[in-house]
Structure formats: C-alpha cells, structure tokens
Amino acid sequence: MQQFSTAGYDRALTVFSPDGRLFQIEYAREAVKRGTTSIGIKSKEGVVLAVDKKIKSKLIEPSSVEKIFKIDEHIATASSGLVADARRLVDIARQQAQVNRLNYHEPISVTGLAKYIGDLEQMYTQSGGIRPFGISLIIGGVSDGEPKLYETDPSGALVEYKATAIGLGRDKAFDLFEEKYEEDISLEDAIDLAIEGLYLATDGKVIDDSVEISVVDKDTEKYRKLNDDEIQNYVKKVIDRKEQEKIEAEKKAEEEAKEKEAKKAAKKAEREAKKAEEESKESSDEEIKDDE
C-alpha cells in the first residue's frame, strides 16, 4: 500500500488522509496509551475497576489523584489519558444519569449510558474547530441484575468486555486476562486478578498507595470504593505471591541449568569413555599385528 505523509492531513480533525485515516483521532489514542493503567473485570458477583494512579511526587496527596469516578449508585468509570477530559465526560455522564431518573423514574442502564458517552465522543470527531477527547473510559456497573462492562475509544467506538485494560501496559494485562479469566470468577478473585494485571503492566512497581479499586456489587447494585486497608491487604497478597513465583522460577531455572550441565558432563564422559575404548581396541589390534 502506498504510504502517505501526515503533512496537511493532521491539521484539521475532519480531513481524511488518502488512505482513510483521521490522524487527530490517532493522536488522541496515543494520549490514552501514555496514560496510567486502568482495568475493568466483570465477575458473576459484580464489576471491579482498578487503576494505577502513578503518584509522581511524594509531595502529592494520593487521595487527591482520582482515576475512578462514581457516575450513579450502580455505575462507575475508570479513565486513562487526559484526566481533565475525563472529568468533563464524567460530569456529562452524571448529568445524563440524573436526567434519566427524572424523566423515566428509573436508573439509567449501563448500556444506555455507555452508548450515550460513545455517541458524544463520536460527535467530537465530525466538527471543525474542536478536538477529540484524549481519553478512554471503562464503564462498569449492574443493570437489571446483570454486570456490564464497556470500553469507549476517542473515536466513539464502543465495545463490551468481560475483562479489559487501557493505558500503559495494556497488552501485558490483556495477555494475563486471556490466560486466567474465567466466566464464573468471583468478586474476590476478580480483584486479585485486577491487581495482578496492574503488577504486570507496571513491571512489578505497583504499590498500595498508587492503587485505587472500586466495585459494583451485583446483589446490592451499589458502588463501593475499597478503603486503604483493604487495598493494602490485596496488594500485599499479590506481591507476596509474585515474589514467591519469582523465587520458584529462579530455583527451577537453576535446577534445569544444573541438570543440563549434568547431562552435558555425562555425554562428555560417555564420549571420552568411547574414545578411550576405541584407542584401547586400536592398541590391542596393533599388538596382535606385531606378534604376528
């Protein structure tokens, strides 16, 4: 396929490049990829949202950095990308949730809210003089007794997931979920899996002060944010397990190396013994010839 320069085609949001790309949207996706890791997991008992807040300075109050937002009693969202854009979308989502309650006297469905946010993000890809939202959201909650989990994209695309991750380290977390996620996973195991996903996404640098976790319980259909002690216990459990796995992996590698060396030494000894045997046979043959 012919390659086209971005020059001229990324100056306006509404201009397609010759190969059908909108570069401003791709740039917005890059902003999301550079954001901190956010994870959402759907379990049989509810939905788990977990984020790495990535506190950059010890002078920052960790509680002031917010990446998980409560939308309604039964819906929450986790963000990655430009936090200011996330706050704007969250305000709109909260307003829409209240409008739905006033107009229809019932809570908005997770699917309905996710579609509304997706439509809004898509609107910001079709008008001049504006830019797309540099944010992706994981929207999770419980509607009609069923946990739901959606991911939005700066383009307005909307996908429902069983487990997903956005931001830095997304691929590592995805690989873990594809390996370990099960349909009947419990809420406790989902929290554990989410923290393990953050652990891998951050290359083992996750700490309890930087982790924020919220759940929406299926039975109560209520949002709850885990307190610091609960998060500390979960994080410690995962870190201890990963450290133990690391020790066992190193021990196994050491044993395999020793076994490999032993096999190598055994083969060498076998070759030397065979060589000595051949030399001894040749010497015996020569002595027989001399006697003749």
Point out the residues that are catalytic: 36
Which residues, including other chains, have CB under 8 Å from residue 207's CB and lie 6 or more apart? 235
The residue written with tokens 């919220």 in the block is 214
Torsion sign across C-alpha atoms 178, 180, 186, 192: negative
Cβ neighbours of residue 215 closer than 8 Å, sequence gap 6 or more = 46, 47, 48, 49, 187, 191, 223, 224, 226
The 8-class DSSP code of residue 37 comes to P
Q: What angle do CA 115, 185, 206 make, to 5 degrees?
A: 80
3-state secondary structure 7-33: CCCCCCCCCCCCCCCCHHHHHHHHHHH
Alpha-carbon gap, residue 269 to 272, rounded angstroms: 5
Continuous segment of H or E residues that includes residue 212: strand 211-217
| H-run or E-run covering 160 | strand 158-160
DSSP element (H, E) containing 223: strand 223-225
Q: Contact, 148 vs 47, CB < 8 A?
A: yes
- Confirm if 173 and 200 have CB atoms less than 8 A apart: yes
